[in-house]
Amino acid sequence: MYCGKRDAERKNNDKYRDIFIQGKYAMLLQNENPDYGEYYCNVTNTHVMGATIWSGQKCFRNTHPNEGDIRDMTYWTAPDTHPGNTLDRNPIKEFHDLHKTSILSYPFHHGMDRWTNNIKWFRYLGKEDDDIFYHELPSDISKAYHTEEIERGTGVVVCGSENEVAKNPVLPNSIFEWHLDGRPKYKSQLEAQNQKKSVWRMIALKSHDQLRQRVAWALSQILVVSEQNINHRGLTEGFLNYYDIFVKHAFGNYRDILKEVSYNPLMGKMLSFLDSKSSLYTRQQTSRTIFPDENFAREIMQLFSIGTVLLHIDGTQKIDATTGSPIHTYTNHNIMSFARAWTGFRMQLQRANIEKGEVVDPMFIDPIKRDIFPKISLDMNFIGDGLPLCNDLPRRHFLKKKSQYRLLGSVSAPEMLHEEASWRLKPETFRLVLDKSYSKLYKVLNDFTESKVPGTNVFLKKDIECYGDECIVNTLKQVEVNGIFYEYIRPSCVHLSFFENSKSIRKRNGYAMCENKSNIIAASACTKVSRKESQKQGAIDFCKYSGELVTYKTGKKRCSSKWNTNLVTGEYEFSDWSDIDTYPNGCVHDYYWHWSPKDCTLVAKVFGENGNIAVVHQPDIDSKIDNDINFSVWPEFDDENLNYFPVYWQKNKYPNPGNKCGKKACTITYDGLGCLCKVVIVETPVFEENPRSVNEVLSNLNIGSFPPYILKHLSFDQKFKDIYIYHNKKGIPFDTGTVFGVKMHGKMKYFKNILSKVEVAKNSKYHFRNPPKFYSYRDADMEVSRRDAVYETDAVLDHLFYHPNTAPFISNRLIQRLGVSNPSPNYVKNVATAFCTGLFKWNGTAENIVFGKGFYGDLMSTVSAILLDSEFLSVPLDADPTAGSMKEPLLKLMGFLRALEYNSAPFMPELRMYDLERKLGQEAHAAPSVFSYFLSDFSPPGLLSTSSLFSPEAQIQTPPKIIDSINGMLSFIEFGLVDCSGGFGSFSQFMRPKCPENSTQKWTTRQKRIVANGISKYNPSHLNAEELVDELNTLLLNGRLNQRSRKVIVNFVSKAKNFEQGLHIAQKLIICTPEYHTTSIVINSSGNRAQNEKPPIPKRRYKALVHIMLNGGADSFGMLAPYSDCSSTTSYDEYSRIRGLAAVLKSNLIPIDAGHPQPCKKYGINDNLPFLHQLYNQKDLLFVAGIGMLIGPTEKKNWEKLYAGKVQLFAHDKQQTDIEQVDVFQKYAGTGIGGRIANVLQNNGYESVTLSVGDVSEFLVGDAPVVFLDPISGLQLLHPVPYKTRMNFKTVLHLNGPTTFMSGTFGESWSRMIHRTLNNGNTLNSALKAVEITTAFPNTPLGNQMRAISHLIKTREIRRTERDIFYATSEGWDMHLDLDDRLKILFKELNNALRSFVTEMKEQNIWEEIVVVQTSEFGRTTTPNTSGGTDHAW
């Protein structure tokens, strides 16, 4: 039993029931305060414990709320969890293993705090006697129910996904399995990870549809899924299936891509919205308010559709005239709202015809976990605007043209509609059987069944007449056709949140709520007419099929004497009776909602802080009537409900406690935080005459209409300025029944001439537009249909897809990925226009050629516009210094292999390459994050930055990757595809010779064929040096080799000892030119580039700053928490209450003294950070409360104005840049705080160096170039072949000599990078070889980086540096799910890396001169989300 607010309810379980007692009823239990129930809610109240109470004609005894829970206790059986676990005894397992029972009895000698402190670890699965379906269990639990694991070839038959190719059972399970005589199949974990990448390489290398594959690769970098972010690196089929979305739709429509990506299970895992749940559902299950995961809601906007700032059609930013700053496309309110639209997505069952653990089928929506309340859109409107109202469905809508029926098969259980799961098992359940002889609907559906046409959906081609029961029902659910079942899928429509024609609907278990009596929403309920209330019997639903729903009018009619039934006779009346009898016709099973003649009032509960509202239902309940005393309002709609959602108040003015609830127009809520307002619904026509334009219709009308061709009450009036006008035959022109039809994106849309607004009854100046929603209020009782969740998802996707930003944003991204880093506004406009119109006309030939199908979002027209634009094709424009781009490393490599005609060895038919993500910075299916391999707006410091040019690919062109990528190709030329001298391959699994160590061991072509996984089959058509170089120039450089470089290469080739050596020299030198690495036209100038000067001997003691960036937004609330001796507003209990499941247990905190005045005298450090605790106690560590990018006192109300044009919230990359630059006012544009520190030091005479052992970072950007070191491989020399090859870095420097101001900017930037890399590399490499470090470091990403920093610090005297500024990075801190487990892993990695680093610094006697600073781009929410993680704070 509970006091006040209902927290949960269990269905189909008569053993346990939640009973809630409010107000005066609590006096039955001697409540001291009948208004608030304070004493009643106290666990010390002996009147509650063990008390009994009648509920629903049954007697229930009060128990502990967790009694009867079914919980997963696995965690408590682990060695280091339960205090009593030893090597000899496991108390929790004993209940099952020793006592042979599944009932765990809580030991009487244990205090209850042990249970309450640890319950978060015991996963809740249900209550004893609950009905739970197998597929609803967590996957690891459901697997435990199998007697054996699902293996290939076992399991159930499941329909395949679209375009899925059948498996060949004769072939091996994996393309990377091989057999050795007498040994089992072998496939290493590395090869399992390499499968999908090899498939991509082979297609890129061999496929004949290269343009389609190239576009697919571009799309895959916009809508990213990566093994780096999904804990299933060995998956192959799932990743290939995801990539095939882009291959399939490369010339299709972007809307199809957006939808398939959104339903793909890998995307669900990547952006953590898989299994995200509504707050309503989690509150019902856990008694806690937990918000849905926001990850996907943010990234689908920022990266997949609209970007972060508003754009013109030409891609330029729209500027706020008031602030002079770009206008944001979304706010955190939008993110939170859309997050509710991405709830309920779940995995389908594992199939038996794919490899174990693979996922290829789309996710499905579990409707009971879906958020059912209104959601705001990006344009100050609502998702669902423009759709018709469900109460406007025409009579017999299920027989109208385009009505949809979905094939179910021989089982009648619906797939898209809600139905109690138990119904399918009950013999009394019956379906509507269509008349075989006379029903026209029967004929249509039966013809489809017998035609055996592939597919599951049937659409009526025209209106058809009804027959029999089809003429009587308001709607259909399932219908039976010759033993086969179909379900009717009504068209998409919405419900308004407030309505005047409200009636009560009641439920058999004693609840009531409001519903629109025009909606087909509840069952009828009729009782025999009796003069005495006591003589009434259980009500009966006169239905035509089990679970039939009707309108209030139909329900009332069913109870009249005109209704004929062969089963029941007598006079009946409309009933509000509590008990509905399923006898004699099986219409209703279990608990079901039915219409009542009682009225019902809707009230708005306004949250004072932000104006969000919750809807309160006030059904008429008369306590004087015996039947009514059993009823109460449905708890999620009582006046204490917390189901708030945003609305748009006129002028943002709303009743709140601060204005005395609108000058007492409303009453203050029980908690004092809001106002309870009676409202009236005002509906008025918007236009009283013809609208002036289509845009005026779209801007002013929000309520849609069904097509006039199915609405018989409408008559066409006229077409005026592309607006089709229809009037109500029985109304007057331009009343609320008038309908306007306009064409949007090539499709007709219809709108009603009506504005529905909700006014506060006693103060009409407070009002808001009536919000639409896809769900009825009845759906709050876990009765959501999957149909409506799918419709809402489509509406969200359409809202983003048709947003004005999507066309220029996606167009610009595709242009960049197809080769032009800085398209002009006119270029972007041309492509975006093709995206919008779905057509592109090219007049490059004698006759115009039209590409595209004419639909918005068409990618054939979009790609054609990109590739055939003059800016892409014009040869004179290629000479523009700003034209082109740097090439993507992976595309460079694949182009190189194609040009040299790569040929796989017979024993290794697929293209296996290794460690490309580290060596190149790129690998298929392995982007480092959802932001892909590089940012679209990245501009490297130096020439490109000062020229205000973007070069995304330059972000991964660090010196180690430059050397590794060139060395890999040089190795292929010299040896074939092996791992010698930095090669990308490996040796054959059957032959492993040593790499040549001198010229006498140099391999012949025959030896290469034997040992290499592949070799070049390129055979030049010319033998002399000039023609050979020209041919390679065409193949590798598109004929762009400058004359100076050509002369140098020809000269080297001419001096070769033989043709093979000359060919190799030509190939090696060409791939070192700037033309090979960029698409620039290079124009050389005379002379050589300046060389680095050796710095003077240091005069001052060395110092270093080490910055560790925790990428992703670290949850610092899991690092440090209040512990004890706290103020009244701050305590561990308060921390634990707010954090909920995300709180660190107090037993997992190591206490520390605050040391100076703080809210608490003691804080606790996470016990996975014991070394930080040690450093703190040694006064070597300080915790600093970061303020992020705050520039002054900030509130939600003023942040946008205060920070306009200064920072961009709600985006990882933008906030990471801001935190690394620390330059809110842009005084030092383009520089980082670390780089500026180095500048100041250098200007004051200190020899200062900036060094990165992580990625490229804004933190280090300053006047001096950044030194990079690969933390794993260190610094490699160029072409480290152990014998002379006539290839040296001086020649490469010559090929990358100085250029004129008209030379291509990207080529010049590349040449500068290779110069710095080679000049600095030799010096640094020598220094690193001269010293060694002795401390052991953990082999983790951060451990390797800290080891590299330690090594560099030890070279300080050799490098002659006085000040070093280092940058390291730790990935994976964006924890939208599994917070506790992931924090534990990363905290241990951080702890151990720092321990080794400090040990080494002390060994070098330099620790006192080192400062280590750890930051992250933002903090995280104090409250958890439904994925078990936390979201972005702001």
Query: In the prediction, which pLDDT does 722 show?
Result: 92
How many Cβ atoms from other residues are within 10 Å of residue 682's Cβ?
14
Which has more confidence, 126 or 372?
A: 372
| Count of H-run helices and E-run strands, the chain | 40, 44
| Residue 24's pLDDT band (cuts 50, 70, 90) | very low
Alpha-helical runs (H) found in 287-400 = 295-302, 332-339
3-state secondary structure 1269-1291: CECCCECCCCCCCCCCCCCCHHH
Q: For residue range 151-200, what is the model confidence (pLDDT) as tens digits?
A: 333 333 445 566 666 655 555 555 555 444 444 444 566 677 888 999 99
| Residue 284's pLDDT band (cuts 50, 70, 90) | confident
**Beta pairing class for 840-842 and 772-773:** unpaired
pLDDT(233) > 60:
yes
The closest alpha carbon to 123, from 67, 74, 68, 64, belongs to: 74
Q: What is the mean pLDDT of residues 1357-1376?
A: 94
Query: In the prediction, which pLDDT does 104 show?
Result: 82
| Residue 8's pLDDT band (cuts 50, 70, 90) | very low
Q: Report helix, strand or coil for 343.
A: coil
Best mean pLDDT range from 408-412, 507-511, 723-727: 723-727
Which has more confidence, 360 or 450?
A: 360
Alpha-carbon separation of residue 421 from 159, 589, 590, 971 (angstroms): 22, 11, 11, 63
Query: In the prediction, which pLDDT does 1000 show?
Result: 84
Do 1434 and 1210 form a contact (C-beta atoms < 8 A)?
yes
Cα–chain-centroid distance for residue 255?
A: 17
Q: What is the mean pLDDT of residues 1114-1124?
A: 95
Query: In the prediction, which pLDDT does 808 show?
Result: 98
Bridge partners of 604, per DSSP, are: 615, 677
| Residue 130's pLDDT band (cuts 50, 70, 90) | confident
Do 913 and 210 form a contact (C-beta atoms < 8 A)?
no
Q: For residue range 1128-1138, what is the model confidence (pLDDT) as tens digits?
A: 888 999 999 89
Q: What is the mean pLDDT of residues 1061-1089?
A: 93
| Residue 579's pLDDT band (cuts 50, 70, 90) | low
Sheet holding 723-728, edge to edge: 714-720, 723-728, 739-744, 747-752
Query: In the prediction, which pLDDT does 6 show?
Result: 39
pLDDT(688) > 70:
yes
| Residue 1167's pLDDT band (cuts 50, 70, 90) | very high
Of the listed ranges 94-108, 436-450, 798-812, the least confidently predicted one is 94-108
What angle in degrees, to the nearest 10, is found between the helix axes of 959-975 and 1305-1330? 90
- ∠ CA 384-222-1229, rounded to 5°: 105
| Residue 939's pLDDT band (cuts 50, 70, 90) | very high
Q: What is the mean pLDDT of residues 283-312?
A: 93
pLDDT(23) > 50:
no
pLDDT(1199) > 70:
yes
The closest alpha carbon to 1426, from 297, 394, 181, belongs to: 297
Q: What token pair was written down for 1106?
A: 């080490």
State the chain's mean pLDDT as an integer: 87
Q: What is the mean pLDDT of residues 462-469?
A: 95
Please identify which residue in the block is written with the tokens 């490109």.
Answer: 944
Best mean pLDDT range from 173-177, 282-286, 676-680, 1291-1295: 676-680
Please identify which residue in the block is written with the tokens 């020209």.
Answer: 1030
Residues of the chain with pLDDT > 70, as a percent, come to 88
CA-CA-CA-CA torsion sign (541, 542, 544, 548): negative
Residue 917 host element (H or E): helix 916-919
Q: What is the mean pLDDT of residues 22-40?
A: 42
Do 1208 and 1215 form a contact (C-beta atoms < 8 A)?
yes
Residue 1313 host element (H or E): helix 1305-1330
CA-CA-CA-CA torsion sign (402, 408, 413, 417): negative
Write the DSSP assignment of 1102-1117 as a string of letters. -EEEEEEEETT---GG
Q: Which amino acid, residue 740?
A: F
Q: What token pair was written down for 759?
A: 């006014």
Q: What whole-number distance in Å separates Cα of residue 974 and Cα of residue 798?
A: 53
Query: In the prediction, which pLDDT does 537 show?
Result: 59
Query: CA neighbours within 13 Å on the CB side: how many for 529?
Result: 8
What angle in degrees, to the nearest 10, is found between the helix axes of 806-817 and 859-867? 50
Mention every residue, 6+ apart, whose C-beta is less than 8 A from residue 637: 513, 514, 615, 616, 617, 643, 777, 780
The closest alpha carbon to 1209, from 1198, 1201, 1200, belongs to: 1200
Residues of the chain with pLDDT > 90, as a percent, come to 61
Q: What whole-number distance in Å separates Cα of residue 1415 and Cα of residue 1234?
A: 13
Evaluate if pTM is beyond 0.85: yes
Q: For residue range 941-999, what is the model confidence (pLDDT) as tens digits?
A: 999 999 999 999 999 999 999 999 999 999 999 999 999 999 998 764 445 568 888 88
Strands (E), 900-1013: 902-904
Phi, psi of 192 (to 5 degrees): -60, -40
Alpha-carbon separation of residue 127 from 122, 366, 1077 (angstroms): 13, 20, 63
Q: What whole-number distance in Å separates Cα of residue 909 and Cα of residue 1371?
A: 35
Q: What whole-number distance in Å separates Cα of residue 1405 and Cα of residue 1412?
A: 16
Q: What whole-number distance in Å separates Cα of residue 1141 and Cα of residue 369?
A: 19
Phi, psi of 302 (to 5 degrees): -65, -40
pLDDT(144) > 70:
no
Q: What token pair was written down for 987?
A: 């040796």
**Beta pairing class for 1410-1415 and 1103-1110:** parallel
Phi, psi of 1329 (to 5 degrees): -70, -20
Peptide bond before 584: cis, by omega within 30 degrees of 0? yes
Please identify which residue in the block is written with the tokens 């450089």.
Answer: 1037
Mention every residue, 6+ apart, whose C-beta is less than 8 A from residue 168: none
CA-CA-CA-CA torsion sign (978, 984, 986, 988): negative
Q: What whole-number distance in Å separates Cα of residue 1218 and Cα of residue 1224?
A: 7
Query: In the prediction, which pLDDT does 126 show?
Result: 82
Do 407 and 450 form a contact (C-beta atoms < 8 A)?
no
| Residue 1196's pLDDT band (cuts 50, 70, 90) | confident
| Residue 735's pLDDT band (cuts 50, 70, 90) | very high
Q: What whole-number distance in Å separates Cα of residue 624 and Cα of residue 1333?
A: 87
Q: What whole-number distance in Å separates Cα of residue 574 and Cα of residue 1180?
A: 79
**Beta pairing class for 849-851 and 840-842:** antiparallel
Strands (E), 284-359: 345-346
Greatest CA separation for the chain? 118
Mention every residue, 6+ apart, whose C-beta is less than 8 A from residue 1137: none
Query: In the prediction, which pLDDT does 136 show?
Result: 64
Do 520 and 549 form a contact (C-beta atoms < 8 A)?
yes
